Structure 1
Amino acid sequence: MGKIYVLDTNVLLQDPYSIFSFEANEVVIPAVVLEELDSKKRYMDEIGRNARQVSKLIDGFREKGKLHDGIPLHNGGKLRIELNHRSFHELQEIFIEKTNDNRILAVAKNISLEEETKPDGKAVILVSKDTLVRVKADAIGLESEDFLNDRVVELDHIYPGFKEIYITVDKLNQFYMKGHLLLSELTKETYFPNQFLLMKDELGGSASAIGIVDEHKKIVKKLHYEGEHIWGIKPRNVQQTMALDILLRKDVPLVTLIGKAGTGKTLLALAAGLLQTEDQGIYKKLLVARPIVPVGKDIGYLPGEKEEKLRPWIQPIFDNLEYLFNTKKPGELDAILAGMSSIEVEALTYIRGRSIPDQFIIIDEAQNLTKHEVKTILTRVGDRSKIVLMGDPEQIDHPYLDEYNNGLTYVVEKFKQEKIAGHVKLVKGERSGLAQLAANLL
């Protein structure tokens, strides 16, 4: 027996192709959902783009028949626009206001009641990314689910970029002498390109070493970074050492860093960028960008010129630059940056559509990007450029994203098998004891 899935608006706004995610079952889109999509299609951000995409998809289905009667989908399922079952009679004593959410619940509940009267009635499931809608559905005895098909990973399976292994002291000594070990000598496990290995003494001794996987040569080799100060800073823990190493590698043009607030993501990336731009001249410019949350929204309502409008959004970047440049007086950093044409700090809104060659690019707060937006950014990276995407997947400000379906997590998982990419999850906060405790407890 098949099932009937009633879709909430937020499912379609998150993934326009979610219609095809329910196999050989019936998918129902309430008429009120079409009204909500229509109100969103003029938005100039990702939500508007998805609303327009869904509208085009549904319009194309009209060629197959009457949408209110139901039309077949290529995956064996069926799509129907629900115009009936709008009666609010069953819910009027529970939910007084006829909000759009309650109207969607009414449609799903009425279909469910109708199916219960049939001898071969189908199970009716409301699919919504809105937690409170699912709570309401449960309260009225209606089965509901979150839409999980857009998740890149499940729960705590986000790739950390490193792995702890235990080997003999002899192998550790061999690693220090030769500078590498054959992967076949360690374990039979499969490793990803540029994955870091934290090798420890299997007998519990204090000896340890950090190496990075060279998939081409099938070895784990010593790090390129040797522990020196870079723009006045030095790694304070193992993961920061790994991050700095991958940030300084010329053969890894894509770096992703994830970690809680205070783990040093922005500071490490800026220091590595300044070294390779200002001191070594590897890149012509250091470009630092941050999404305006919500991403893509116009910030024209703020007073002043473009720089004044952007300052509140990108102030965290300036805070880190003030630390690296060791500025003390107000306006001193602005004077330094004005005299250094090789450093550019922008809002992400203003780098869309550009081709960016020979630059060290840092995208902060990348967890607030959707899959489409992060694809747009990465496809703009020009020759001889390096791009760093970083953020905290647990701090999402986008209404339709979570820890497992955002653009940053998407890039981490899709690129973990590629030789041109490297990733590190920073786990220890170094901002202060208070900041670390707050990140863990709150």
Structure 2
Amino acid sequence: MGQKNFVLDTNVLIENPKCITTLRNGQDNKIHIPYTVLTELDKLKRDPRIGHIVAQAISIILKDKIVTILPPEYAESLTALNPDDCILKETINSGIDEPVLITNDRILQIKAGIYSLKCEGYKDSEPFRSDSQIYTGFTAETESPIINSFRWENGTPVFYGHKENKAVTYTHEVWGVTPRNIYQNLAIELMLNDKLNIISVQSEAGYGKTFLALASALFLALEKKDNPYEKVYLVKPLWEIGAKMGFLPGTVEEKMQPYIRYIHDLAVKLHEQRPANRIFMDSDPEKIRFNQKKFEILPIAYIRGMNLENCVVIIDEMQNMSRSEVRSLLTRMGEGVKCICLGDTRQVDNPYLNESNNGLNWIVKKLKNNKEYAHMVLKGERSRGPITDLIIKTGL
């Protein structure tokens, strides 16, 4: 087969920025990008939902010196047309020998057929993956171990710590909780490791990261001897409340009730498995009153000015925190602190953040390979229940 000339539509670059490399196939084919596509990318880069993907596409275009940009002069004369029609006209009048327009826009495919322009869809879409997804906490056998990562050796996970390696051949039980799978067991291994001051766990909803973190925190603060931990803090970003939170009646804890109900439910579940009376104000835990001397839930805004010492800090939904918020929070932590960061960069609710530019991803990007830090992606075949299992399995 001879060399092909592919002209890329905007939607193809957004769905999979790496399509340039795939379609070029080494030196076999040529890639052309209409000027109108660059104009569309320039507008989309400001969109917080996909700006990180646009940046990746632009980076690949800049690195790939063989990509040809169709001249702007003709495109600028088509300003009266919509972007799809501009791309179509640019391709037809480009002078390229037998161009093939690559687009997943079905209307544009129909329009291309009217002009007898060869057109193909691009089906190899690849969802964007953040650093916290790409780095799973495991190192391949062919690679040099990352500090505080796991490696599979003869079917057994081996933890490569800063100074020593350890095969994890045992199963943890913490505060009456037995892990459902090997990944949960390894997450607990990190949470209980006294050499690690800060760890992060990435996973989809339903894999039990918050439940495991609470169980580990209760064990460290209420049971384990010879450690400095006297209290558990749970910090949660409440950007959706924002300034309005101050106008709600009641105490901080009462204002936060709609957003922390799930924490209470998990705490009660742990209490039922093994009594945790010291974290509740009442003998009846259903009253949802935590003993703030032992267990306290705080929004980020209330952390400023505090100095956290001798405690376990769980930061939940860290993907909804900005880089500056993470820095402000972590610099509040003094001596004797264990910090457990939880989140899922695929579930960013904060409209000002995205999969790449969020607190959890920044933690992994900046702290990876540090002797006091470890990260892992929590997964497995069983989550919180059969329906959740089905949704995760099918990718709904």
TM-score of the pair, normalised by structure 2: 0.64
After superposition, the Cα gap between the structure-2 partners of 1:378 and 1:10, relative to the gap in structure 1 and judged at 3 Å, is farther
CA contact (8 A) 1:152 1:405 kept: no
Identity value in percent: 29
- Provide the C-alpha distance between the structure 2 equivalents of 1:395 and 1:22, rounded to a whole number of angstroms: 24
- Provide the C-alpha distance between the structure 1 equivalents of 2:291 and 2:338, rounded to a whole number of angstroms: 23
CA contact (8 A) 1:362 1:388 kept: yes
1:417 aligns with 2:364: no
CA contact (8 A) 2:133 2:377 kept: no
1:408 CA displacement: 0.6
* Residue 438 (structure 1) aligns with: 391
State the AA in 2 paired with 1:190: S
1:334 CA displacement: 6.0
After superposition, the Cα gap between the structure-2 partners of 1:331 and 1:298, relative to the gap in structure 1 and judged at 3 Å, is farther
1:22 CA displacement: 8.2
- 2:151 paired residue among 197, 201, 204: 197
Q: Deviations over 1:91-128 (max 9, x none)?
A: 7xxxxxxxxxxxxx9xxx99x9xxxxxxxxxxxxxxxx
- Provide the C-alpha distance between the structure 2 equivalents of 1:353 and 1:296, rounded to a whole number of angstroms: 18
- 2:167 paired residue among 222, 233, 246: 222
1:361 aligns with 2:313: yes
CA contact (8 A) 2:303 2:332 kept: no
Q: Deviations over 1:139-164 (max 9, x none)?
A: xxxxxxxxxxxx9947x962000246
Secondary structure of 1:380's aligned partner: coil
* Residue 302 (structure 2) aligns with: 350
- Provide the C-alpha distance between the structure 2 equivalents of 1:296 and 1:403, rounded to a whole number of angstroms: 21
1:270 CA displacement: 0.7
Q: Deviations over 1:156-193 (max 9, x none)?
A: 962000246xxxxxxxxxxxxxxxxxxxxxx5521111
* Residue 28 (structure 1) aligns with: none
* Residue 325 (structure 2) aligns with: 373
CA contact (8 A) 1:314 1:347 kept: no
Q: Deviations over 1:294-315 (max 9, x none)?
A: 3745323544433221011111
CA contact (8 A) 1:390 1:408 kept: yes
State the AA in 1 paired with 2:160: V
After TM superposition, the runs of 4+ consecutive aligned structure 1 residues lying more than 4 A away are: 3-10, 12-15, 151-154, 334-340
1:275 CA displacement: 0.9
State the AA in 2 paired with 1:310: M
1:238 aligns with 2:182: yes
1:349 CA displacement: 2.9
- 2:232 paired residue among 261, 276, 286: 286
Secondary structure of 1:212's aligned partner: strand
State the AA in 1 paired with 2:176: G
After superposition, the Cα gap between the structure-2 partners of 1:152 and 1:376, relative to the gap in structure 1 and judged at 3 Å, is farther
1:11 aligns with 2:46: yes
After superposition, the Cα gap between the structure-2 partners of 1:337 and 1:282, relative to the gap in structure 1 and judged at 3 Å, is farther
- Provide the C-alpha distance between the structure 2 equivalents of 1:400 and 1:274, rounded to a whole number of angstroms: 34
TM-score of the pair, normalised by structure 1: 0.58
Q: Give 1:137-148 correspondences, 5 Å limit.
A: none
* Residue 58 (structure 1) aligns with: none
- Provide the C-alpha distance between the structure 1 equivalents of 2:271 and 2:133, rounded to a whole number of angstroms: 38
After superposition, the Cα gap between the structure-2 partners of 1:193 and 1:268, relative to the gap in structure 1 and judged at 3 Å, is same
Secondary structure of 1:377's aligned partner: helix
Secondary structure of 1:300's aligned partner: helix
1:13 CA displacement: 7.5
After superposition, the Cα gap between the structure-2 partners of 1:374 and 1:152, relative to the gap in structure 1 and judged at 3 Å, is farther
Q: Give 1:140-289 correspondences, 5 Å limit.
A: 153=130, 158-163=134-139, 189-200=143-154, 208-216=155-163, 219-223=164-168, 226-279=170-223, 280=225, 281-289=227-235
After superposition, the Cα gap between the structure-2 partners of 1:240 and 1:331, relative to the gap in structure 1 and judged at 3 Å, is same
Runs (5+) with no aligned partner, structure 2: 1-34, 60-78, 88-104, 110-127, 276-281
RMSD: 4.8
1:383 CA displacement: 1.8
After superposition, the Cα gap between the structure-2 partners of 1:10 and 1:355, relative to the gap in structure 1 and judged at 3 Å, is farther
State the AA in 2 paired with 1:434: I
After superposition, the Cα gap between the structure-2 partners of 1:380 and 1:269, relative to the gap in structure 1 and judged at 3 Å, is same
Secondary structure of 2:350's aligned partner: coil
1:271 CA displacement: 0.9
Secondary structure of 2:244's aligned partner: coil
- Provide the C-alpha distance between the structure 2 equivalents of 1:384 and 1:199, rounded to a whole number of angstroms: 34
**How many residues are paired up?**
321
After superposition, the Cα gap between the structure-2 partners of 1:8 and 1:371, relative to the gap in structure 1 and judged at 3 Å, is farther
Secondary structure of 1:382's aligned partner: coil
Secondary structure of 2:308's aligned partner: coil
Q: Comparing 302-311 with 263-272, which one deviates more in the overlay?
A: 302-311
- Provide the C-alpha distance between the structure 2 equivalents of 1:372 and 1:311, rounded to a whole number of angstroms: 26
1:380 CA displacement: 1.9
1:220 CA displacement: 2.6
Secondary structure of 2:245's aligned partner: coil
- Provide the C-alpha distance between the structure 2 equivalents of 1:10 and 1:347, rounded to a whole number of angstroms: 31
- Provide the C-alpha distance between the structure 2 equivalents of 1:436 and 1:22, rounded to a whole number of angstroms: 36
